[in-house]
Amino acid sequence: MKEKLYPFDNIESKWQKYWLDTKLFEMDPKSKKEKYYCLVMFPYPSGKLHVGHGRNYIIGDALVRYKIMKGYNLLSPMGWDAFGLPAENAAIKGGLHPKESTLKNIDTMKAQLAKWGVGYDWSREVTSCAPDYYKWTQWIFLKLFKKGLAYKKKAAVNWCPSCKTVLANEQVISDSCERCDTKVIDKDLEQWFFKITDYAQTLLDDIKLLGDWPERVKTMQANWIGKSQGVNIDFLLDGANSKFSCYTTRVDTIFGATYMVLAPEHPEIDSIIKDSPEKDKIEAFIKKVRTQDKTKRADANVEKEGIFTQKYVINPVNNRKIPLWIANYVLMEYGTGAVMAVPAHDERDFEFAKKYNLDIEVVIDNPNQALDAQTMKTAYIEDGVMVNSEQFNGARNKEASESITDWMEQKKIGKRATHFRLRDWLISRQRYWGAPIPIIYCDKCGTVPVEEDQLPVNLPDDVEFKPDALSPLSAAEDFVNTKCPKCKADAKRETDTMDTFVDSSWYYLRYLSPKDKDRPFDKKLVNEWLPVDQYIGGVEHAILHLLYSRFITKVLNDLGYVGFKEPFGALFTQGMIIKNGAKMSKSKGNVVSPDALIEKYGADTIRLYTLFIGPPEKDAEWNDRAVEGSYKFLGRVWRLAEKVTSSSNDTNTFDKDLERKIHQTIKKVTRDIEGDFKFNTAISSVMELINAAYLSLDKNYNKSVKFAVEIAVKLLAPFVPHISEELWEKLGNTSTIFNQSWPEHDEEKSKDEVIIIPVMINNKLRSRIEVDSNSSDDDIKTIVLSDAKVKEWLKDKDIKKFIVVPKKLVNIIV
Ligand code: ANZ
Ligand code: ZN
């Protein structure tokens, strides 16, 4: 092995121990300093971390160390999102019990984080699978239950026949289970839900409170909530007394409705087909559609399929009798599950009408070219002028929308309505490795919540957790059989466990009082410390985790447990590290482990490379060979510090140019970090500073170079803390560099010096110009040529030579 550029291994273990011993990362509850809560998303303990995971923690650590030097009282905790499927699936395949494998993985990952030099306040560690944590997850469930925000209902759920579990919609990837690729089917089961839809409007409104969040994430939140404003219109069933309410956002097209479509799940279907000779056919069709993936059915590209019910409904605006269909492209989950179809002006309806030969009627005309229902090739979805719409003809459709709605509301045939795409949060899982839902079923008293003083409902260790249609817990008799809290009769426990998103929806509150036995969190402390100043994590959590955390915070706020409406003040989502063009994964065999690299180059090199690899919010390709460049740079800093501390030559004067560079670098690095975490450009300016210091050293400006090294080491400390601590010590300091305050630049000293240069033409002084002392020859040339006097002298002359003597003079030969 080549000789090391500097002795990183001894240095790194030395300082890692020092930070632990001196409790550098422990929050000081008594401190008078301003607080700063930096939260990195707590990970699922999956085992070993790779360099892609590292980016997340290194960015957080760099920020935390920077903020410590800026003089804040830091809260930088870490914990484990420790319940969930992978550990259970591994156990089923014959691996360790989920509890054992999880605890083992936590140890491995903790050791890895330490090796990266990433520090946390471990005295505040939380682990979501520990009874003293999930006790309070259950407490939160009870609070929602008592508030009417947790309820049970039969629901068609995504069922993976292989994992034998319910999947959330987002765990279904192109009709198949995210984990095992088996085709997912629909199944009706009793499920627990949280009523997040009660908060849809507030969750939408309060996006405006999310000041420092990426716009992209705010938009994703808004789209997920999906507010839509339209009109509910009742259509009477022909020859019967019942009616169908449909939801439309295009009431301006109502005169063009030529058929109506129901979702196959629509509850009225049974009664309307019960005497139909086509009953069997229709039921077979419905059964078939229900095996299709719901999230897909609404997709524009999915083949539209339908069946005629043999019934008609009456369009209330013109009493027209139109056929009633059932089709796959209408979902029961949205609006009312019934749609008035306007093929002339809706793509899906158009495609469907063409396929089944249904009427098409134009009611909004193209002002530039009249439409013809017979020949049109696609729906006309643009704005235009109302036609075939009785008293509304001639109006622009946007305006007609309003007047039609007013008119319908007056005639009581329609009503303004708002719908949200957001659905209630399905929180129950028929799995073992999760927090048990604290509910007891009693034959007499019904569904009874566990008394708060009886929490936690412990998850038994000794369970046959091979999944079945029922939760594995249902086979654990000691667990299931209990007494009713109300009447004390024999009763049975709920055997479902909670979605792990419930665990992670409140963990940031627990960090303030992780060992509190009496409360989930300390109201006074969380009110002091939250909202979180900076949340850092993966963009894959941009929707669900953030939305659920926002929801739980709002519920707790409404119940008076917290005094804030939003948990996270600022959010940063880092880009992925990719390898060979793809996300790192075991199956692709492109996982880069940090271990060998740390062994070879040290953690500081890996940290520096990770931060230098590109803008931190963008994806970046990992390149093992480029790591070498970061290593060489650290070697260069190391040698410069050695030279400057050992050399005795000194001019005893100060290098003005270097001094200026120092102040400019402080300014740039500070601005880059404070801005959008531009660690990459911050690092490159320190690299420039080191280059300038080497030049200055050649001229024996020892004092200036020493100052430059001191500053460089401080500026690098958040990124490469070990070498920075060591060099700081070598420079003759006794206390840790993280006790130093962050350097501040002097604006005057950072300004480029302005100098006056004489301009000669054919060796005769003709003008003087003002330039920045470090202007390039090209800059100078441009300035000279635009100088009025020079222009006058050069009129109609050919320039033969243009001589720039840096900082001295310019001579033009003509
Ligand atoms: C008539 C119409 C005419 C419509 C037209 C659109 C264009 P947004 O804007 O996303 O809220 N729709 C309503 N409920 C539906 C359901 N359960 N499944 C599938 N589609 C449904 O979408 C509202 C529009 O989507 C509604 O307006 C309805 O079709 C359809 F030229 O009504 B529209
Ligand atoms: Zn009872």
pLDDT number for residue 170: 61
Least reliable range by pLDDT among 3-12, 70-79, 618-627, 783-792: 783-792
Ligand 1 pocket, residue 330 CB under 6 Å: yes
Ligand 1 pocket, residue 340 CB under 6 Å: yes
Tokens representing 431?
């799995």
Least reliable range by pLDDT among 128-142, 159-173, 700-714, 739-753: 159-173
Ligand 1 pocket, residue 474 CB under 6 Å: no
788 vs 385, residue with greater confidence: 385
Going from the Cα of 333 to the center of ligand 1, the distance in angstroms, rounded, reads: 12
Confidence of residue 408 (pLDDT cuts 50, 70, 90): very high
Looking at the CA of residue 254, tell me the nearest atom of ligand 1: 1
pLDDT number for residue 169: 67
Q: Which of 227, 245, 249, 259 to mutate to test the pocket of ligand 1 (most atoms within 8 A of CB)?
A: 249
CATH for the stretch 625-749: 1.10.730.10
pLDDT number for residue 776: 80
| pLDDT reading at 464 higher than 90 | no
Going from the Cα of 143 to the center of ligand 2, the distance in angstroms, rounded, reads: 20
Overall average pLDDT of the 464-478 stretch: 78
- Summarize pLDDT for 517-569 with one digit per residue, the tens: 999 999 999 999 999 999 999 988 989 999 999 999 999 999 999 999 999 99
Going from the Cα of 480 to the center of ligand 2, the distance in angstroms, rounded, reads: 15
| pLDDT reading at 469 higher than 60 | no
Going from the Cα of 188 to the center of ligand 2, the distance in angstroms, rounded, reads: 27
Q: Could you say which ligand is closest to the alpha carbon of residue 442?
A: 2
pLDDT number for residue 653: 78
Domain 227-420 in CATH 3.30.2350.10? The answer is no
Mean per-residue pLDDT over the chain, rounded: 93
Secondary-structure class of domain 752-813 per CATH: alpha beta
Going from the Cα of 131 to the center of ligand 2, the distance in angstroms, rounded, reads: 26
Confidence of residue 770 (pLDDT cuts 50, 70, 90): confident
pLDDT number for residue 617: 94
Q: Judge whether 159 and 167 are in contact, CB under 8 Å.
A: yes
| pLDDT reading at 345 higher than 90 | yes
Q: Judge whether 437 and 192 are in contact, CB under 8 Å.
A: yes
Give long-range contacts, CB 8 A cutoff, 24+ apart: 676-679.
Answer: 676/615, 676/617, 677/59, 677/63, 677/572, 677/616, 677/617, 678/615, 678/616, 679/59, 679/62, 679/611, 679/612, 679/616, 679/719
Ligand 1 pocket, residue 137 CB under 6 Å: no
Going from the Cα of 116 to the center of ligand 2, the distance in angstroms, rounded, reads: 55
Other residues' Cβ atoms within 10 Å of the Cβ of residue 84? 24
Confidence of residue 56 (pLDDT cuts 50, 70, 90): very high
Q: Could you say which ligand is closest to the alpha carbon of residue 381?
A: 1
pLDDT number for residue 705: 93
Ligand 1 pocket, residue 429 CB under 6 Å: no
Tokens representing 329?
């492209």
Tokens representing 5?
């550029």
Ligand 1 pocket, residue 297 CB under 6 Å: no
Overall average pLDDT of the 205-218 stretch: 95
Domain 142-195+425-500 in CATH 2.170.220? The answer is yes
- Summarize pLDDT for 741-757 with one digit per residue, the tens: 999 999 888 887 788 88
Ligand 1 pocket, residue 745 CB under 6 Å: no
Ligand 1 pocket, residue 339 CB under 6 Å: yes
pLDDT number for residue 649: 67
Q: Whose CA is nearest to atom 22 of ligand 1?
A: 249
pLDDT number for residue 650: 65
Going from the Cα of 247 to the center of ligand 1, the distance in angstroms, rounded, reads: 7
Going through 520-636 in order, the beta strands assigned E by DSSP cover 534-538, 571-574, 577-579, 582-583, 620-621
pTM of the model: 0.87
pLDDT number for residue 260: 98
Question: Domain ranges in the chain?
Answer: 8-127+508-583, 142-195+425-500, 227-420, 625-749, 752-813
- Summarize pLDDT for 71-111 with one digit per residue, the tens: 999 999 999 999 998 888 888 777 899 999 999 999 999 99
Q: Which of 225, 252, 294, 346 to mutate to test the pocket of ligand 1 (most atoms within 8 A of CB)?
A: 346
| pLDDT reading at 47 higher than 60 | yes
pLDDT number for residue 372: 93
| pLDDT reading at 131 higher than 90 | yes
| pLDDT reading at 467 higher than 90 | no
pLDDT number for residue 149: 98
**Burial of residue 1 (number of CB atoms within 10 Å: 0-12, 13-18, 19+):** exposed
Ligand 1 pocket, residue 294 CB under 6 Å: no
Fold classification of 8-127+508-583 is: Rossmann fold (3.40.50)
Going from the Cα of 520 to the center of ligand 2, the distance in angstroms, rounded, reads: 28
Confidence of residue 255 (pLDDT cuts 50, 70, 90): very high
Tokens representing 375?
């020949």
Q: Judge whether 436 and 494 are in contact, CB under 8 Å.
A: yes
| Residue type at position 769 | I
| pLDDT reading at 1 higher than 60 | no
pLDDT number for residue 651: 67
Going from the Cα of 249 to the center of ligand 1, the distance in angstroms, rounded, reads: 6
pLDDT number for residue 92: 79
Ligand 1 pocket, residue 693 CB under 6 Å: no
Other residues' Cβ atoms within 10 Å of the Cβ of residue 482? 17
